[in-house]
Amino acid sequence: MKKLVFASIITISLLGACKSTKQPVATTPAVPLDCSNKSLSYTADIKSILETSCAKCHNSNNKAGYNFLTFASVKKAATNGYLLGSIKHQKGFDAMPRMAPKLPQETIDKIECWINNGMKE
């Protein structure tokens, strides 16, 4: 009987020790985008991207909520986070462009740097 009790205690102890062997997965923090050496402007660098990729829907008819043919509307969308959240396909935003593949990462980075550097016209 003592052996059975002793064996039970050992078994329970071992099971308790083995209960959780999973270690938390370390996540690598996102490296901030370095925009310090980028001098971008809406007219020279961003306008053509938006005209090609976005203005099919986001134009003067305003059916899609923003007119990306005007600097003021693009700046408004950039300021409130809609533009970057949508093109990066972030949670809580409508993924854009909707009917095409996601923009290339270098294009997204260019738009993000333009926003981060003050949205020069």
Q: How far apart are CA 50 and CA 68, in angstroms?
A: 6
Q: Which two tokens stand for residue 44?
A: 């020279």
H or E stretch including 110? helix 105-116
For the CA atoms of 102, 119, 81, 48, the dihedral, rounded to the nearest 10 degrees, stands at -30
The structural domains of the chain, with segments of one domain joined by +, span 34-121
Res. 20 pLDDT band, cuts 50 70 90: very low
Instruction: Return the closest-CA partner of residue 96 out of 73, 67, 64.
Output: 64
Q: Specify the pLDDT at position 99.
A: 80
DSSP secondary structure, 27-84, as one string: PPPPPPP--TT----IIIIIHHHHHHHTTTTSSTT-TTS--TTSHHHHHHHHHTTHHH
Model confidence, pTM: 0.72
Q: Which of the given ranges, 9-18, 54-63, 73-82, has the highest pLDDT on average? A: 73-82
